[in-house]
């Protein structure tokens, strides 16, 4: 099989091989295809418990706005940076 990639992708793969992350271009492409296959075949069943937990929180009224979430996050990050 012959594959032609855009030059940017080819250069990136070559750099990954040169950095030792893959033994060869073939290994790098095989890893990329394997990753795509795993994502494509993922039915997200693993996420169901998290979705159910979130729904239960909403039903209890245990929610905050996105704005409040980011305000709290900024506060925590500010405290961590000050430490």
The predicted-structure confidence for 5-40, as pLDDT tens digits, reads as follows: 999 999 999 999 999 999 999 999 999 999 988 888
pLDDT at 56 over 80: yes
pLDDT band at 44 (very low <50, low <70, confident <90, very high): confident
Q: Report the C-alpha gap between 22 and 30 in whole angstroms.
A: 10
Burial class of 13 by CB neighbour count within 10 A (0 to 12, 13 to 18, 19+): buried
Q: Residues 69-79: pLDDT tens digits?
A: 999 999 999 99
């Amino acid at each position: 099989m012959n594959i032609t990639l855009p030059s940017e992708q080819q250069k990136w793969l070559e750099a990954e091989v040169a950095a030792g992350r893959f033994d060869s271009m073939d290994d790098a492409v095989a890893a990329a295809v394997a990753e795509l296959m795993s994502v494509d075949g993922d039915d997200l069943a693993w996420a169901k418990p998290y979705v159910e937990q979130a729904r239960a929180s909403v039903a209890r009224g245990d929610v905050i706005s996105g704005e409040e979430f980011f305000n709290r996050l900024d506060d925590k990050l500010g405290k961590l940076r000050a430490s």
